[in-house]
Structure 1
């Protein structure tokens, strides 16, 4: 007799497979055939996942319409079944999927909007964490400054796209068709920070240099690796802004440079 875990795995494989034979062996059939019972279960599961994707990507759905979105979502689900029952983590690959989805080829900005919405979803659902207090850096010896490596706050995302996903997102949410029609879709790369402020999302567009510096800082590069490559005044100004806005959750530095204290 199979274990409960084995039955659950067989049913999951059947839901996301074109061949449900293995799963049907574990489905009772009486007045309603096993295949019909399983089809109902599969449809309910897929409908739940489509709904989960719609909640993460509401602007994408508005751009393409509910019917198109549902069809794209079902195709995505077939290729990317969930790995966990916690659906807040489901849909990370949807932007890349849309970028390669033939039916969406003419909507050149769609995958960037999806990337933006995933960033919004990420910051809104990120765990609460205290921001790094700039005063904690005061105890560092001057010789340790160059070795400081920052830890980005979990409720901040750095995003680079080719189309104005932030402006599209705002226009669609506001129902401003005129603003949407006026946008220039010339495919020029742009970067911005997506961050949580209270229960809302805040956006901050970055210049190319600011984005490059921020990417290095968020990746854990030491200050000595970041500063020499950029204008010193611009770097210090940006770093001060990141600290003041709470975009770091901690830092690491040589123990001898900070009295053997950890942040």
Structure 2
């Protein structure tokens, strides 16, 4: 039997933990760092809210686009492909500005036009552009931006399932939905989860871009605090520490999940 590969000691992880302990000690013993952390912790909730909501909506939209790209109707396939290719070619920062200052007013106008009978009847009030907060404009932009990349992840995962299994399921009398639900999706999910987790980690970092819209996340609060106290070194140390804590933790979780899926797949083959 082949000898099991010896697991190497993750030196980088030990160094990262050591730095985290040192920095945590600085925060608890240094009044300046403690004050900065107390100020920035208000933005942690905003950062996590924007990230989780945007990612959940992007997954839903991405799955819909991926399914559309595999549709029988050519027009639907072309529209989904056009959406994916165009959105992936636009930088997230540009998309944030476009949605916030161009798309949002048009969306409000479309809503008011669709709801005009109810508005005229006095059932609901007319929506104003300022009623759509910058936080939700940022969420919409991140949702659209990431849905195109996630759609490709879903499409690749779905296409990784052999067509023979799909044909066998259809031969057994399963409908297209039943085939997708019971045959394609469980197998595709194993290939989808690792890259999907990496995109989630990337979204946490890209959520810092919403600070350009004035959203009170970690980056924006750090920018305001450092510009008022001139403690740029200390402030951005704490900002980097908070983002690293979130991203490294999630990266380790994604890696553990990937290893678990590999072991499960190996056990099934044996």
Task: Tell me which interval the TM-score lies in, with the shorter structure as reference length.
Answer: under 0.3
TM-score by length of 2: 0.24
Structure with higher helix content: 2
TM-score by length of 1: 0.24
Structure with higher strand content: 1
